[in-house]
Amino acid sequence: MGSQPNDARTRREIYHEADVVVVGAGIFGCAAAYTFAQQGRSVILLERWMHEPDRIVGELLQPGGLDALTKLGLGHCVDGIDAIPCHGYNVIYNETPVHVPYPPRDQNGRLTNQWYGHGEKGQRDVGRSFHHGRFIMQLRKACLGHENITVVETEVVNTIRGEDSDQILGVETRTTDKMTGDKTPDCFFGQLTIIADGYDSKFRKQVTTSKPAFRSKFYALELIDTELPQPGYGHVIIGHSCFPVLLYQIGTHETRALFDVPMGIPEASPDNGGVRGYIKNHAIPALPESVRPAALKALEDGKIPRSMPNSWLPATKQTPRGMIVLGDAHNMRHPLTGAGMTVAFNDVLLLSELLHPSRVPNLDDSDTLAAAMKTMYWRRKNYTSILNVLAQALYSLFAANDRELRALQMGCFEYFKRGMTDGPCGLLGGIIHRPIILAYHFFSVAFLAIGLHSIELVSAGPLGILKTPLVFVDAILILAKACVVFLPLIWREGFR
């Protein structure tokens, strides 16, 4: 820090030396590189493939993520990419829809119905959905145009450690010559190396022994010129006949369909036509009628749809010795709720505040860096505990595979139907940052589920009243299941 921009550029370009080396020009890496550069740091951003990514991830940005992106000075990156405003969700349970919009704010910007019900009037926050690759190219363009950033297309293959200490000094890379295909070794040095190399991180194991776990994959189709029942809303299809399906428009003519397929389900066995068979015979029939023709057409090419694992990786504490690992490499949750980018942008915001040059002039000051990372670990829980728990808990309910979970799934839908939408959708949208509100709504759903299930039992035929003892047993089982789903998650995400 402190050198003139031109000196710093020379140091980056000739000597490959900067204040910060960022690995991965994806969602986290671009936002981090840009933010540190805005604070006057000299940044080298390393990315293995600079062409526009064609991926099925990171296509719906929640309002809470858009707000963080705007605070980082990158709000313009959702402009000019045919992004579609997203006003909330349309949840379709066994073919019955319920409208779950993001909550309105009063004149003072407050959300007045966080605990109960929903407001009708007031300005509502809005998210955006888009082609992931187009958004990434906008983020990269912002970095390429910044005088304090040098972007290099190269693959990072290793970290470089000091000879006498385990301090990370930078990274080793291989740069491919596009004409010959030859790979040239190179090195880049920084006071701090930020690793943001995504879900399949090569470097995660240097800071944690935790590995991502997944029990399902999302298979993707791109539907052309289809009509969603509620344009401008993300659609979540749940029910008895299939596992969750997400639908959201990512461009004027394109709609993304993501089909959750748990590992090893018999409906997707080779005898039943594999994943294509499951999508065709179970998932597409559960879609709104207006969407089915485009979904069948998208499946026509005969290929297995592209897929991604739906990973769960709780964050771990890091003792930085010149390097920190962040983004998906550090923390992942089921993508059902579209929270990954919201977590990433809020993390960049928090990190840049904690490492601001006025607080941490030298990033190679290990003790100050360690203290900042410890603070970050706990402070980020204000939003990650909500977004991560919600993603995992909702997935358990929406992919219900037993009686109690099905009762909770129905309870959740009925909760929305009774108008309890502002709190849940504010949490989902990354707008509400109070974990206690999540606990309140989760257990309200559980008690509603118990009530509804009990009524269903005793009102089933003339002898229903004889089932009263069963009502108590089931009430305990449903409450116990809600606790089993929620409490370990909130303990892991909120308190450890």
Ligand X SMILES: Cc1cc2nc3c(=O)[nH]c(=O)nc-3n(C[C@H](O)[C@H](O)[C@H](O)COP(=O)(O)OP(=O)(O)OC[C@H]3O[C@@H](n4cnc5c(N)ncnc54)[C@H](O)[C@@H]3O)c2cc1C
Amino acid in position 202: K
Q: Which is nearer to ligand X, 28 or 93 (CB)?
A: 28
Residue 188 sits in the site that holds ligand X (CB under 6 A): no
Q: Which one of 52-60, 235-243, 292-300, 446-454 is the stretch in contact with ligand X (CB under 6 A)?
A: 52-60
Residue from 9, 38, 40, 48 touching ligand X (CB under 6 A): that is 48
Question: How many beta carbons lie within 10 A of that of residue 174, not counting itself?
Answer: 15
Could you say whether residue 378 binds ligand X (CB under 6 A)?
Answer: no
Burial class (CB in 10 A: 0-12, 13-18, 19+), 151: buried
- At 216, phi and psi to the nearest 5? -150, 165
Residue 342 touches ligand X, criterion: CB under 6 A: yes
Pick the closest to residue 66 from 354, 346, 352 (CA basis).
346
Position 231: which residue type? Answer: P
Judged by CB under 6 A, the residue of 20, 46, 152, 360 near ligand X is 46
CA gap 424, 442 in Å, rounded: 9
Cβ–Cβ under 8 Å, residues 254 and 223: yes
Q: Is 387 in the site for ligand X (CB under 6 A)?
A: no
Name which position in 49, 116, 378, 491 contacts ligand X (CB under 6 A).
Answer: 49
Whole-angstrom distance, CA of residue 397 vs CA of residue 119: 26
Q: What do you get for the CA distance between the two ends of the chain, in Å?
A: 35
- The site string for ligand X over 147-176 (x = CB under 6 A, - otherwise) reads --------xx--------------------
Where does this chain touch ligand X (CB under 6 A) — which range of 42-50, 90-98, 432-440, 486-494? 42-50
Phi, psi angles (nearest 5°) of residue 453: -65, -40
Site pattern 262..301 for ligand X (x: CB under 6 A): ----------------------------------------
Shortest Å distance, C-beta 6 to ligand X: 27
Nearest residue to ligand X, scored by beta-carbon proximity: 26
Where in 311-340 is the site for ligand X (CB under 6 A)? 327-329, 335, 338-340
Number of residues that bind ligand X (CB under 6 A): 35
Using rule CB under 6 A, residue 28 touches ligand X: yes
Distance of CA 489 to the CA centre of its chain: 16
Closer residue to ligand X (CB): 24 or 494: 24
Q: Say whether residue 56 binds ligand X (CB under 6 A).
A: yes
Q: What is the DSSP letter of 2?
A: -
Q: Is 478 helix (H, G, I), strand (E, B) or coil?
A: helix
Q: How many CB atoms lie within 10 A of CB 266?
A: 8
Spatial contact of 93 and 28, defined as CB atoms under 8 Å apart: no
Q: Which residue has the tokens 């190396």?
A: 193
Q: Which residue number, 22 or 410, has a Cβ lying nearer to ligand X?
A: 22
CA distance 425 to 88: 7
Binding of residue 341 to ligand X (CB under 6 A): yes
Read off φ and ψ for residue 23, nearest 5 degrees.
-100, 115
| C-alpha–C-alpha distance, residues 462 and 116, integer Å | 36
Q: How many residues does the chain have?
A: 496
CB of 198 to ligand X, least distance (A): 3
Residue 88 touches ligand X, criterion: CB under 6 A: no
Q: Quick check: 45 binds ligand X (CB under 6 A)? A: no
Q: Considering only residues 191-230, where is the footprint of ligand X by CB under 6 A?
A: 196-198, 202, 218
Chain residues binding ligand X by CB under 6 A are 23-29, 46-49, 56-61, 155-156, 196-198, 202, 218, 308, 327-329, 335, 338-342, 344
